[in-house]
A = this chain, B = another copy of it.
Amino acid sequence: MKKLLLFVAVLLVFGCKQKDQVPATVEPSKPALNELQTKVTGLFGELPLVAENQNNPVTEEKVVLGKKLYFDNLLSKNKTESCNTCHNLDTYGVDNHQFSPGDKKGTSGGRNAPTTLNAALHFVQFWDGRAADVEEQAGGPVMNPVEMGMPDEKFVLERLKADKDYPGLFAKAFPESKDAVTIENMRKAIGAFERKLMTPSKFDAYMKGDSTALTAEQTEGLKLFVEKGCTSCHMGNAIGGSMYQKFGVYGDYWKMTKSQKIDEGRSLISKNAAEKYFFKVPSLRNISKTYPYFHDGSVKDLKEAVKIMGKLQLNLDLTPQEVDKISAFLDSLTGEVPAELKNK
Interface residues of A (CB under 8 A from B): 42-43, 54, 121-123, 226-227, 229, 231-233, 235-236, 238, 241-246, 249-251, 270-272, 274-275, 278, 313-315
Other than the given A229-B314, A232-B314, 20 more pairs (CB < 8 A) read A42-B251, A43-B249, A43-B250, A54-B271, A123-B274, A123-B275, A227-B315, A229-B232, A231-B249, A232-B245, A232-B249, A235-B246, A236-B274, A238-B274, A241-B274, A242-B246, A242-B274, A243-B244, A243-B246, A244-B244
In the complex, the answer to whether A232 meets B313 with C-beta atoms within 8 Å is: yes
Q: Is B226 within 8 A of A315, CB to CB? A: yes
> CB-CB < 8 A to A278: which residues of B?
242-243
Asked if residues B232 and A275 are in contact (CB atoms below 8 Å), the reply is no
Q: Which residues of chain B have C-beta atoms less than 8 A from A270's C-beta? A: 123
Please give, as numbers and ranges, the residues of chain B lying within 8 Å of A251 by CB-CB distance: 42
Query: Bound complex: CA of A122 vs CA of B123, how far in Å?
Result: 20
**Tally of this chain's copies:** 2
Q: Which residues of B contact A274 (CB under 8 A)?
A: 121-123, 236, 238, 241-242
For the complex of A and B, the 8 pairs showing the least CB-CB separation, nearest first, are: A242-B274, A123-B274, A123-B272, A123-B275, A236-B274, A232-B232, A232-B249, A229-B229
**With A and B bound together, what is the CA distance between A122 and B241 in angstroms?**
22
Tell me whether A245 and B246 are in contact (CB under 8 A): no
Taken together as a complex, chains A and B put the C-alpha atoms of A17 and B330 apart, in Å, by 49
Instruction: Kindly state the separation between the CA atoms of A269 and B98 in the bound complex, as whole angstroms.
Output: 35
Question: A243–B43 Cα gap in the complex (Å)?
Answer: 20
The CA-CA distance from A56 to B168 in the complex, in Å, is: 51
Which residues of chain B are near A272, meaning CB under 8 Å? 123
| Chain B residue at minimal CB-CB distance from A236 | B274
A278's closest neighbor in chain B, by CB? B243
Least Cβ–Cβ distance between A135 and chain B, in angstroms: 13
- Docked Cα-Cα span, A136 to B278, in Å, equals 23
Q: Write out the residue numbers on chain B whose beta carbons fall within 8 Å of the beta carbon of A275.
A: 123, 242-243
Task: Report chain B residues within 8 Å CB of A227.
Answer: 315
Whole-angstrom distance between the alpha carbons of A235 and B247 in the complex? 12
Tell me, in angstroms, the Cα distance from A270 to B226 when the chains sit together: 27
B236, B246, B315: the one within 8 Å of A229 (CB)? B315
How far does the Cβ of A200 sit from chain B's closest Cβ, in whole Å?
Answer: 17
Considering the chains assembled together, what is the distance between the CA atoms of A294 and B278 in angstroms?
Answer: 24
